[in-house]
Chain A
Amino acid sequence: MTDLTSTVVDILSSTMLAMQDAAGTAAPAMQEPAAATTTAAPAGQVRELGGDFWMPPAASTLAPATDFAFHAITWLSYVFFFGITFALIYLTVKFRQRGTEVKYDAGAPVHNTPLEVGWTVIPLLLVIAIFFMGFKGFLDLSTPPKDAYEINVTAAQWSWSFKYPNGATSNDLVVPAGQPVKLVMRSNDVLHSLYIPDFRVKKDVVPGRYSYLWFQADEPTGMVPEDQSADTVVGHYLFCTEYCGKDHSNMNRKVFVLNETEFKEWEETQARWLDEVPDEELYSIAGPKLFLRCSNCHSIDGTAGTGPSWGDQTSGSIAGLGTLWERVTSGVSPIDGGTRDDGGSTLADYIGPGKLYETPEDYLRESIYNPGGLLISGYGPNMPHFRGQLSDRAVDALIGMIKNIDQFDAKGRFIGNAPD
């Protein structure tokens, strides 16, 4: 059976290759891993679509098999499509009626068993061959090598978090080149799906269970840019492809492939970076990096988002009440619902000595680790929890950033002077 399978696939393969050669368009994506994404280009530039007419650049070891199947089916489709279209046009023109008088052809055949059996059996054989081509590719896609490097992925509305074996965490997916990588994925809320087009891999991230995905990328993309909020043409796209609500289309990051030494160094630095930031510069250096996880829902420039702005919001129930820190310390933000709401009307009813939260910092910390306790009116319980994802030091950095929000620009970049 396996022999038959591989024979059928081989025959089909060689036919398709011959056809592509004949047409002078040997599939570029299959034979030369695209260089477009491997060279660094200046930030801010619109990157090109890359790849060939149909497919994006092929950047994983699994991509060529998928591309081969895609191009084989596409060529088969061309044959059928052009054949059917030409036949339609030819028959319609040749047998068209001229004038009102119908030239009824009483002798025209009404069935022809050999012909009908023929066009039943031939497509059947073709689709069986296609099935086995996809089957072979799928077996590889769903069988991660045993020695794969494991990275934990947490998806939440609307951010990705990647956690490495040494404890490092990252907003972008950074992987070693030339080594199989296995993603162990889970979701904190609704369905998501992790998709890297250049790698031809995709898997749903389902709440309540782990799902896996693996790939191996051989070509390094170049280093992770220092300023991760900037647009860049370096790296491969990573998209969420299962609809997950408002900011579904912004739930995308980049994949960076580093060579072995670069990756080791990055991983080490990434595990330690938060600890190595001097305390006095914690919020100005660490804040912006951590804020990337928050920026899909919380603005700095006062625009209302899925969550309240960290700046002075210009619309809704908290319009004109000051920055987030001012609203919390003065307690003016109106409350409407939440698991710990017991009928108070503003934050002031809950924050202060002897109240639910001793200090404003306690309230902010609880709102990050375990959100939904008190809901600012006009906002629903949409925030995912960050328990186990952010260390105390990371939360300190974020609270520090909230306290000094006027020292940051709209994209979260530090612009103010370091505090005295």
Chain B
Amino acid sequence: MTTLDATSPNPSNAPAPPVDNYLTFTRGFLSWALTLDHKRIGLMYLVAVLGSFLVGGIFALLVRTELLTPGATIPGVDAEVYNQFFTLHGAIMVFLVIIPSIPAALGNFVLPIMLGAKDVAFPRLNLGSFYLWIIGAVLAVLSLAYGGFDTGWTFYTPYSTTTSTGGVIPVVTGVFILGFSSIFTGLNFVVTIHKLRPPGMTWFRMPLLLWALYATALIQVLATPVLGITLLMLIVERVFQIGLFDPAMGGDPVLFQHFFWFYSHPAVYIMILPAMGIISEIISVHAHRHIFGYRFIAFSSVAIAIFSFLVWGHHMFTSGQSPLMNVVFSLITFSVAIPSAIKVFNWMATLYRGSISINTPMLYGLGFIFLFTIGGLTGLHLGTLNTDIHLHDTYFVVAHFHYVMMGSALIAMIGGLHHWWPKMVGRMYNEKWGIIGFALVFIGFNVTFFTQFMLGSHGMPRRYYNYQPEFQIYHVISTIGSYIMAAGFFWTLYYLVQSLFSGAKAPSNPWGGRSLEWQCTSPPPHDNFKTTPSVGDCYDFSVVKWDEEEGGYVVDRSQVDKQRPDH
């Protein structure tokens, strides 16, 4: 089974004959709008998610700028407007950016190729979930026309059912629909991984990103319906005045928090698990080194997915739930630390005796480990009962979850974007510019958010428009950091777009990857693989050799059969 036609080297010096690729396979607007190709859908998701990231980022910059001074800073931005800013920032970043970023955008593109399949199991459902995402996003935007919403992204009742801002119902409906988009993507991935593995692709030969996406998909399918029901109940209370959560009508506001976090805590792992999968790929490919502890990493993904359902109560230590529940939830919360620590140690062991290429994706990979370590360790302060009582709802929490959700999940997404960029668009970006971009983002991020740990531990509450003057110095440093970070992201956008027009043509395998996506052309053909690909140990880099003629790496197929036994 060594029939990888797609990897045949091109005569690269001569003008390349038009090779079938998914970007040029068919043309015209409708060929994209009605495409069933997982790669095109992934690319459309990517554009949509990055567009949302820009909008959410602008709101973040407005929030940071407003906080330069206590009280009013930007003319015309009063407390009401500010409350809408941080609400929009949070809601956009969580529901429109981070949750779909890796699974729906990158995952859609690489999952079937890595698996050796021609597409996902249900291509029409896949396109359908993209349009559900669009409808959800449009409703969220539409809410602004109805007066916006100032509830915070958590929609806590009874504030959310009584606030006079009129955009609550449109945006909650939007998030409800986005939930279905997420459920369908998860369902698609579960079935694809179960049913479309080619011969030889056993569970323990799958790249670790697929394990991570599989674990993520399980959470998406099992947890998201709870969010849907909760938001429907919120709408029912707000529209029909049926008392579910508002004590004035006989409801229970703490019940809403239970429902909300029963989804939203697992949702944190919808964000971070696929990021961990990407890091496993990036670290092993760019260190040219077999991943260390494959099974421990794979099982820790599943363990995290299971534990994620049992810890929601740690968001509610001060809410008035029973002290006994606080104790139980604190104990279970610490169990999540273990699989996360296992992954970090395994990534570090993978560097040992590797042959490490220090390039942009690898820097994002190493940056992830650094930032995730800080995010994870500060999670200990928050999981511990008595310290959480002090830190809950302060900037310490804000800093912690930005280190995890942005510093880890989004940084991994950007790293993965660089890693698969040559594969997606067939062009190389400028490596030096990439490193400059990483440096700006990494430094800016730490300046922005590390200061917020000190703000929070000294008692600065979150979601504050006005604050005590002695906190100002930290706010100023944090805002400066956010500008540096923004410069880094705009710079990254610039050189990525520039690479589309003047980047060098990408070889099939620019990094020396071993998994299947590096064995088809860049960009991949419409059907991914002309024939069923051969599957080996996807982390055995002994068969990957540099090919001067190709300008990239090739998999020496004569060696594939002699590979080492699995893991």
A-to-B contact residues, CB < 8 Å: 46-49, 51, 53-56, 62, 65-66, 69-70, 73-74, 76-77, 80-81, 84-85, 87-88, 91-92, 95-97, 100-112, 115-116, 119-120, 123-124, 127-128, 130-131, 133-138, 140-142, 189-191, 193, 195, 197-198, 200-204, 206-209, 211, 237, 239-250, 380, 382
Bound: A267/B389 CA distance, A:
30
B-to-A contact residues, CB < 8 Å: 79-80, 83, 150, 152, 156, 158-159, 162-164, 246-248, 252-254, 287-296, 318-320, 323, 326-327, 330-331, 334-335, 337-338, 341-342, 344-346, 348-349, 351-358, 366, 369-370, 373-374, 377-378, 380-381, 383-390, 392-394, 454, 457-459, 461-471, 512, 539, 541-542, 544, 546, 567
Instruction: Identify 13 new A-B residue pairs, CB closer than 8 A, beyond the known A77-B378, A111-B296.
Output: A56-B458, A88-B366, A102-B288, A109-B292, A116-B346, A140-B386, A190-B162, A193-B393, A195-B459, A206-B247, A243-B83, A248-B83, A248-B463
A243 pairs with B318, CB closer than 8 A? no
Residues of B within 8 A of A76 (CB): 377, 380
Which residue in A66, A108, A112, A195 is a CB contact (below 8 Å) of B393? A195
Q: List 27 A-B contacts (CB under 8 A).
A: A47-B468, A70-B457, A95-B352, A96-B356, A108-B289, A109-B352, A111-B294, A112-B293, A116-B296, A119-B342, A123-B341, A127-B335, A127-B338, A131-B383, A134-B383, A135-B327, A138-B330, A189-B158, A191-B156, A191-B158, A195-B461, A197-B390, A202-B392, A242-B156, A243-B152, A246-B80, A248-B465
User: How distant is B204 from chain A, measured CB to nearest CB, in Å?
Assistant: 12
Nearest neighbor of A138 in chain B, beta-carbon distance: B385
Known A81-B374, A142-B323: A104·B355 in contact at CB below 8 Å: yes
User: How distant is A208 from chain B, measured CB to nearest CB, in Å?
Assistant: 3
B366 pairs with A92, CB closer than 8 A? yes
Which residue in B164, B247, B385 is a CB contact (below 8 Å) of A135? B385
Residues of B within 8 A of A49 (CB): 458, 470-471
> Mostly helix, strand, loop or mixed at chain A's interface?
mixed
Residues of B within 8 A of A237 (CB): 459, 468
User: How distant is B243 from chain A, measured CB to nearest CB, in Å?
Assistant: 10
B341 pairs with A245, CB closer than 8 A? no
User: How distant is B350 from chain A, measured CB to nearest CB, in Å?
Assistant: 9
Bound: A96/B331 CA distance, A:
41
B393 pairs with A206, CB closer than 8 A? no
Bound: A284/B341 CA distance, A:
64
A247 pairs with B79, CB closer than 8 A? yes
| Shortest 10 CB-CB contacts between residues of A and residues of B | A208-B247, A197-B459, A137-B386, A134-B384, A138-B385, A249-B464, A91-B351, A108-B353, A77-B377, A134-B385
Bound: A73/B393 CA distance, A:
19
Known A110-B567, A195-B459, A250-B466: A105·B357 in contact at CB below 8 Å: no
A245 pairs with B386, CB closer than 8 A? no
Bound: A80/B341 CA distance, A:
10
Nearest neighbor of B252 in chain A, beta-carbon distance: A208
Bound: A382/B542 CA distance, A:
70
Which residue in B319, B341, B352, B466 is a CB contact (below 8 Å) of A91? B352
Nearest neighbor of B159 in chain A, beta-carbon distance: A190
User: How distant is B54 from chain A, measured CB to nearest CB, in Å?
Assistant: 26
User: How distant is B404 from chain A, measured CB to nearest CB, in Å?
Assistant: 14
User: How distant is B377 from chain A, measured CB to nearest CB, in Å?
Assistant: 4
Which residue in A46, A100, A124, A248 is a CB contact (below 8 Å) of B338? A124
Nearest neighbor of A247 in chain B, beta-carbon distance: B79
User: How distant is A250 from chain B, measured CB to nearest CB, in Å?
Assistant: 6
B458 pairs with A102, CB closer than 8 A? no
Residues of A within 8 A of B288 (CB): 97, 102-104
Residues of A within 8 A of B390 (CB): 66, 70, 197, 200-202
Which residue in A48, A102, A107, A109 is a CB contact (below 8 Å) of B546? A102
B384 pairs with A69, CB closer than 8 A? yes
Residues of B within 8 A of A69 (CB): 384, 386-387
B393 pairs with A202, CB closer than 8 A? yes
B159 pairs with A88, CB closer than 8 A? no
B355 pairs with A95, CB closer than 8 A? yes
Residues of B within 8 A of A128 (CB): 334
A138 pairs with B326, CB closer than 8 A? yes
Bound: A142/B389 CA distance, A:
11
A88 pairs with B254, CB closer than 8 A? no
Residues of A within 8 A of B463 (CB): 243, 248-249
Residues of A within 8 A of B471 (CB): 49
A131 pairs with B330, CB closer than 8 A? yes
Bound: A101/B545 CA distance, A:
8
Known A84-B344, A131-B331, A200-B389: A249·B467 in contact at CB below 8 Å: yes
Of A81, A104, A244, most buried by chain B (CB within 10 Å of CB) is: A104
Residues of B within 8 A of A87 (CB): 348
Bound: A243/B160 CA distance, A:
11
Nearest neighbor of B158 in chain A, beta-carbon distance: A190
Bound: A197/B392 CA distance, A:
11
Bound: A103/B369 CA distance, A:
24
Nearest neighbor of B472 in chain A, beta-carbon distance: A46
Known A81-B373, A123-B341, A138-B327: A51·B355 in contact at CB below 8 Å: no
A84 pairs with B327, CB closer than 8 A? no
Known A96-B356, A103-B355, A110-B294: A74·B381 in contact at CB below 8 Å: yes
Residues of A within 8 A of B386 (CB): 62, 65-66, 69, 133-134, 136-138, 140-141, 200
A206 pairs with B253, CB closer than 8 A? yes
User: How distant is A75 from chain B, measured CB to nearest CB, in Å?
Assistant: 11
Nearest neighbor of A140 in chain B, beta-carbon distance: B386
